[in-house]
Amino acid sequence: MKNLSAAKIGLLTASSIVVANMIGTGVFTSLGFQVVDIPSVFALLMLWVCGGVIAFCGAVSYGELGTALPRSGGEYHLLSKVYHPAMGFLSGWISATIGFAAPTALAAVALGKYLVVVYPGLPVDHIAAGVVVLFAIIHMVSVGVGSFFQVFFTIIKIGVVLFFIVAGLLTEHPQNISVMPDAQAWSYMATAGFAVSLVYVSYAFTGWNAAIYVVGELKNPSRNLPLALLVSTVLVTVLYTLINYVFLLTVPMQELVGKIEVGFLAGTKLFQLQTANLLSIMIAVLMLSTVSAMVFVGARITQVMGEDYPVFQFLAKKSKNDTPVNSIIFQTIITLLFIYTSTFEEVMIYAGFTLALLTSVTVAGVFVLRYKQPDLPRPYKTWGYPYTPALFLLANTWITIFVLIDKPKESLIGLTLIVIGFIIFYLNQKMSSIRP
């Protein structure tokens, strides 16, 4: 029987999912951590350019894998086919526990933080939890309703970012900064601080691969998947670089150190307090799009796992409107646990670290699949192969090594979750082998 949901997600919705997954928590919260070790405007902006290049290299690689092996499920499906079902299961486990639930929690908490700036005394955690539950309900209604909200809030998100950029570039009282590099600026790019800061940037770019998770529901995936990945990644890279330039142009660097609400700080410099408060509310609305996208996409991975593993078969259940209702509920529960038990910075570091490992193994799959199945039809081939996937792998290896050294606690959390995933997989295999 024809899959009715396959014709419901077009290029616009797929692109909005990618953009919404990327633009959100990271770009409005991470600059304050970066300026601690990198007091150079040029080096700070190069962080975002490098992050965009890395994301672009990953996107063109994912485009080949997604069109050669089309099915919703993202890395879970791809790694199962390219390597071994254990690797696919592990990626699904990471996606369920960190890949989507953790960023959803961070976006929801950031939303609450920006609202508290305007309305002191509001319960941040309860607001975050309420938003997550609201979008879980919306996306359980139908794919069509979810797609509408996704496009709607993504348009708002891009509008807020563009408003910040234009207002900042036209400010009458800019900081005396220069983007021209000197010898010291170049030297910052070879430090451990730059590598660790790339974790924050990589987290901000997390989502460049989002369309891969719903490839089974895309119209004309051989065309729309690579287009959605490539166009969205380039667009977000430009927006990220410009908005961080605006933050540095409007707020003295010493005032940014250690601060999360950098958007509010820039708003207070650009406008009167009342307008800055309005911008904080708009940024909170912007976070709605991120929460929506994460809920929409993440549930598709756990749903596919439910189809393939009897122990998780309850996650495969769909509603009469063809939405993965049980997977959405499952992801929502995990997200609420993050909201009420974890700190913002810890979640950002170990999520970024673990996802870097996962995406590296997936991009390496381009080489593996070409070797194992050279005659497999590939409607789209990686642009710049083999240099683009190789650059992605080299950059992520460099980042993860420095994070292991500089942030051992957060790295250990990510590695522990990986080990638990393998244990669960092999326990499931043993249970299946003894089942009558």
Burial class (CB in 10 A: 0-12, 13-18, 19+), 321: middle
Residue 304, pLDDT score? 75
Residue 422 structure tokens = 């393998």
Which residues on neighbouring strands pair with residue 9, listed in sequence order? 218
What sign results for the dihedral spanned by CA atoms 362, 100, 148, 244? negative
What phi and psi values does residue 259 have, to the nearest 5 degrees?
-95, 145
Residue segments in the chain with a per-residue pLDDT below the cut of 70: 1-8, 21, 24, 72-73, 142-151, 153, 210-217, 431-436
Contacts of 237 (CB under 8 A, 6+ apart): 48, 49, 51, 52, 53, 55, 56
Residue 278 belongs to some domain of the structure: yes
Q: Answer whether residue 435 is part of any domain.
A: no
- Is residue 2 situated within a structural domain? no
Q: Is residue 242 part of a domain?
A: yes
The pLDDT of residue 215 is 61
Residue closest to 39 by CA, chosen among 241, 263, 191, 240:
191
What does the DSSP 8-state code read for residue 312? Answer: G
Q: Examine residue 386 and say whether the peptide bond preceding it is cis (omega within 30 degrees of 0).
A: yes
Q: What's the predicted TM-score (pTM) here? A: 0.77
Does residue 1 form part of some domain? no
pLDDT score recorded for residue 146? 56
pLDDT of residue 49: 92
What pLDDT score does 283 carry? 81
Give the model's pLDDT for residue 147: 61
pLDDT value of position 1: 33
* Gap between the Cα atoms of 218 and 229, Å rounded: 13
* Contacts of 378-382 spanning 24+ positions with Cβ under 8 A: 378/64, 378/67, 378/68, 379/67, 379/68, 379/222, 380/63, 380/64, 380/67, 380/222, 380/225, 380/226, 381/64, 382/60, 382/61, 382/63, 382/64
User: Cα separation of 332 and 91, whole Å?
Assistant: 18
Span 320-355, pLDDT tens digits: 777 788 888 988 998 998 888 877 777 778 788 888
Residue-wise DSSP of 9-63: B-HHHHHHHHHHHHSSHHHHHSHHHHTTT---HHHHHHHHHHHHHHHHHHHHHHH
3 state SS of 341 = helix
How long is the chain?
436
* C-alpha closest to that of 236 among 13, 20, 11, 10: 20
**Burial of residue 145, with CB atoms counted within 10 A of its CB: 0-12 exposed, 13-18 middle, 19 or more buried:** middle
Give the per-residue pLDDT at 144.
59
Residue 436 domain-assigned? no
pLDDT at 435: 52
Residue-wise pLDDT for 18-67, tens only, equals: 777 677 677 888 888 888 889 899 999 999 999 999 988 988 888 888 87
Question: Within a domain: residue 204?
Answer: yes
Amino acid present at 91: S
Residue 356 lies in a domain: yes
Which range marks the domain in which residue 270 is found? 7-430
> Look-up: residue for tokens 């005394």?
121
Helices (H) and strands (E) in the chain, counts: 19, 0
CATH number of the domain encompassing residue 75: 1.20.1740.10
Which of 49, 38, 45, 54 minimizes the C-alpha distance to 395?
54
For the chain, how big is the Rg over CA atoms in Å? 21
Instruction: State how many domains the chain has.
Output: 1
Residue whose entry in the numeric block shows the structure tokens 């593996």: 368
Q: How far is CA 5 from CA 1, 141, 181, 229, 352, in A?
A: 12, 13, 50, 20, 31
Which backbone phi and psi does 99 adopt, to 5 degrees? -55, -35
Task: Please name every residue paired with 218 in a beta bridge, in sequence order, or none if there are none.
Answer: 9
